[in-house]
């Protein structure tokens, strides 16, 4: 069974949002389920800080031994930071998807849109 923390917001495309403590800023990454399905991550292409995206825009790609997948922006917003640690060690997505394996910090345009994302229970049903 995949690890699905109860304090996060999820998308059907297997991204998560995790509050950072800064108003409107969330860590975005892929879920434990998604990294498990992908297998060993070998490369991640991410945008530059300052880039803006709308909900469901592709903001990057993740390459594993057996597949390349698009990364989808969960909500409208602006990238305020990119996890540079993934350049040197993309496998952090496998070993710690909800910690050191986060991908970008996103300043969401409208936090009210979080209500449209999946809860941990809804995401668990989605992947079962």
Could you list the residue range(s) of the whole structural domain that residue 14 is in? 10-109
pLDDT of residue 106: 98
The answer to whether residue 44 sits within a structural domain is: yes
CATH of the domain at 22: 2.40.50.100
Q: What's the pLDDT tens digit per position in 85-117?
A: 999 999 999 999 999 999 999 999 999 999 999
Would residue 43 count as lying in a domain?
A: yes
Residue 1 has pLDDT above 70, yes or no: no
Q: Across the strands, what pairs with 9?
A: 17
Total domain count, the chain: 1
Q: Is the pLDDT at 2 greater than 90, yes or no?
A: no
pLDDT tens per residue, range 10-59: 999 999 999 999 999 999 999 999 999 999 999 999 999 999 999 999 99
| 121 belongs to a structural domain | no
Report yes or no: 77 and 110 within 8 Å, Cβ to Cβ: no
In a domain? residue 68:
yes
What's 79-113 look like in SS3? Answer: EEEECCHHHHCCCHHHHCCCCCCCCEEEEECCHHH
Cβ atoms within 10 Å, residue 46:
20
In a domain, 127, yes or no: no
Is 116 contained in some domain?
no
In a domain, 89, yes or no: yes
Residue 122 falls within a domain, yes or no? no
Query: Does pLDDT of 123 surpass 80?
Result: yes
Q: 118 Cβ partners below 8 Å, 6+ apart?
A: 9, 10, 11, 12, 126
- 89: its two tokens: 């060690």
């Amino acid at each position: 069974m995949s690890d699905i923390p109860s304090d996060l917001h999820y998308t059907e495309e297997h991204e998560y949002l995790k509050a950072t403590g800064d108003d409107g800023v969330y860590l975005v990454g892929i879920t434990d389920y998604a990294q498990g399905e992908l297998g060993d991550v070998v490369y991640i292409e991410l945008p530059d800080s300052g880039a803006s995206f709308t909900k469901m825009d592709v903001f990057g790609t993740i390459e594993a031994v057996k597949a390349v997948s698009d990364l989808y922006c969960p909500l409208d917003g602006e990238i305020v930071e990119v996890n540079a640690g993934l350049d040197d060690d993309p496998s952090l997505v496998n070993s710690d998807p909800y910690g050191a394996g986060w991908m970008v910090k996103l300043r969401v345009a409208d936090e009210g849109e979080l209500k449209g994302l999946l809860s941990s229970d809804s995401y668990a049903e989605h992947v079962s």
